[in-house]
Amino acid sequence: MGLLENKTALISGAARGIGRAIAEALATEGADLILCDLKAEWLEDTAAAVTALGRKVVCVSADVSNGEQVTAAVKQGVEEFGRIDVLVNNAGITKDGLMMRMSEEDWDAVLSINLKGTFLLTKAVSRIMMKQRSGAIVNIASIIGLIGNAGQCNYAASKAGVIALTKSTAKELAGRNIRVNAIAPGFIESKMTEVLPEAVREKMLDAIPMKRFGLAEDIAKVTAFLAGENSGYITGQVLTVSGGMVM
């Protein structure tokens, strides 16, 4: 029996990368899934993978920075499954650039998706969980929210905000048996890291004691742990998954 048998999980940014890996990990543990992304058609491959694992799935489209769309997406998921036991706030974007050259539009876009989106989904789903008197929320932050990074002041601010939001909501919701935790991934193998010049990759790897980039599956496994009852006495924590880069 899986760790999430008879549970329903909502995952934002589920179309690809870490989001898809999380969807497959939670489905493997027995969860039925509400998959959310900006466009529902982007979710077809993830939905097919989840269905192949024998789980039920519903795909919803929403701009997570839009409160009305978030409310509608959550309502659609509840109408399908009747409950939401796990929320994974994974949707996020980057618009990198040095602070002196960064436009207000790029600042606002990153904060709106990464931080406001996490707030809106947490607010909407926590109302369901409070009625159930149970739930687990996992926010995907970043080590950049802990240590900062030149050229990413908007992204760093958004992820630091996610960490602070995690701790505050954990305190607010603990009395209703709702746990809220965050994961701070380090450098994760992706299409972006694949095309980096070898010298750049080597420099990045030199900063990682384990001498490898992380995989999306590394984040997915920790998410499944925080979503299940094996972490039943853990809340308000930030688990850094960085191969030792940040300790």
Q: Are strands 135-140 and 178-185 parallel, antiparallel or unpaired?
A: parallel
State how far the Cα of 205 lies from the Cα of 197, in Å rounded to an integer: 12
Cβ pair 220, 22 in contact under 8 A = yes
Across-strand partners of 8?
32
Q: How far apart are CA 72 and CA 90, in angstroms?
A: 18
For residue 145, what is the enclosing H or E element? helix 144-147
Residue 14 is predicted with a pLDDT of 97
Residue 187 region by backbone torsions, left for phi larger than 0, else alpha for psi between -120 and 50, else beta: beta
Whole-number pLDDT of residue 198: 86
Contact yes or no for 236/168 (Cβ under 8 A): no
CA 89 to chain centre: 4
Q: What pLDDT does 190 receive?
A: 79
The domains of the chain, with CATH numbers, are 8-236 (3.40.50.720)
Q: Which residues of 90-118 are buried (b: 16+ CB within 10 A; e: fewer)?
A: bbbbbbeeeeeebeeebbebbbbbbbbbb
- Gap between the Cα atoms of 170 and 172, Å rounded: 6
For Cα atoms 157, 159, 163, give the angle at the middle one, nearest 5 degrees.
Answer: 115
| Residues acting as catalytic residues | 155
Q: What is the pLDDT of residue 192?
A: 61
Specify the DSSP element, H or E, that contains 50. Answer: helix 44-52
pLDDT value, residue 1:
74
**Exposure of 233 by Cβ count < 10 A (0-12 exposed, 13-18 middle, 19+ buried)?**
exposed
Whole-structure pTM value: 0.97
Q: Which residue ranges in the chain fall short of pLDDT 70? A: 192
Task: Read off the pLDDT of residues 167-178 as tens digits, 9 standing for 90 and up.
Answer: 999 999 999 999
